[in-house]
Amino acid sequence: MIRELKLKGYSKKTITSYVRQVQLFLHRTGIPAELVRREDVVLYLEKLQNITGHLNRSTAAHVISGLRALYRSMGKKGAANPAEGIPYPKHELRYPDILSKEEVKRILRATRNLKHRFLLMLIYSAGLRVSEAVTLKLNDLDFKRNLIHIRQGKGKKDRFVMLSRTIGGAYQEYRACYPVKEWLFPGADITAHLSVRSAQSIFYNAVERSGIKKNVSIHSLRHSFATHLLENGTDLRYIQELLGHKSSRTTEMYTHVSNRDIRNIPSPLDEL
């Protein structure tokens, strides 16, 4: 199963999640893999929903996809594959909390450590995924062309994004204080990059110090980047390319969280 998923180009993170969900399914149901039926998979998903009161779409999708992969690797196709034909739950319509430009400033001001501040600045300035930011190398920043080279981002695709013209000063300050050889953001062991978990902790600590009470994560910097671009009039197609979205439908979410047009609609109260 793992070998086939690797050959198909699945990321290490996705493979780990599929394997974990398959292991949990077999452990919790106690049914030998060769005896699992379609009904067993459906009942398992229903039990997950009953226990939590809510079936997380991502979890359900990974259970179904993981089991499909397992049985395909066992040579079972079509009706013989118990997970085949089970529909994925519908996408949940949830819009992320967006940080205002002033709130982004407050978070950056609350980040005293130069390395930590530069990391958060870079993520917001280019709409990077945290995994993309922590795996950047020195030569991925091109200050002559004002570009950042994102290598093997989500979906194992390279792309170029803008390198802010105002971030140069923060970069020079950072480089003057920290020994950087290969990774732009080295971890405690300078031969390895900073972990995603460490980057997330940096953000949460900064939010706490800033006094912001919104339900936000480090990924909110990426959401805010896209929303602020849209509110400034940037074409949605450019935003899609900058974010590395495969489908324009994913990027269209920002038209719902942006207040570019909504705030220009006068309230009836204003006319009383």
Catalytic, 254? Answer yes
Q: Which residue among 38, 76, 115, 154 is the active-site one?
A: 154
- Compute the distance between CA of residue 157 and CA of residue 253 in angstroms, rounded to an integer: 22
Q: Which residue among 193, 222, 223, 228 is the active-site one?
A: 222
Contacts of 99 (CB under 8 A, 6+ apart): 107, 212, 214, 216, 220, 221, 224
Q: Which residue among 62, 129, 193, 223 is the active-site one?
A: 129
Q: Which residue among 44, 124, 174, 254 is the active-site one?
A: 254
- Compute the distance between CA of residue 218 and CA of residue 119 in angstroms, rounded to an integer: 11
Catalytic, 151? Answer no
Catalytic, 129? Answer yes
Contacts of 256 (CB under 8 A, 6+ apart): 95
Cβ atoms within 10 Å, residue 224: 25
Catalytic, 157? Answer no
Q: Which residue among 76, 209, 219, 260 is the active-site one?
A: 219
Q: Which residues of 32-50 are buried (b: 16+ CB within 10 A; e: fewer)?
A: eeeebeeebbeebbeebee
Catalytic, 8? Answer no
Catalytic, 154? Answer yes
Q: Which residues of 235-263 are buried (b: 16+ CB within 10 A; e: fewer)?
A: eeeebbebbbbeeeeebebbeebbeeeee
Report, as residue numbers or ranges, the catalytic residues. Answer: 129, 154, 219, 222, 245, 254
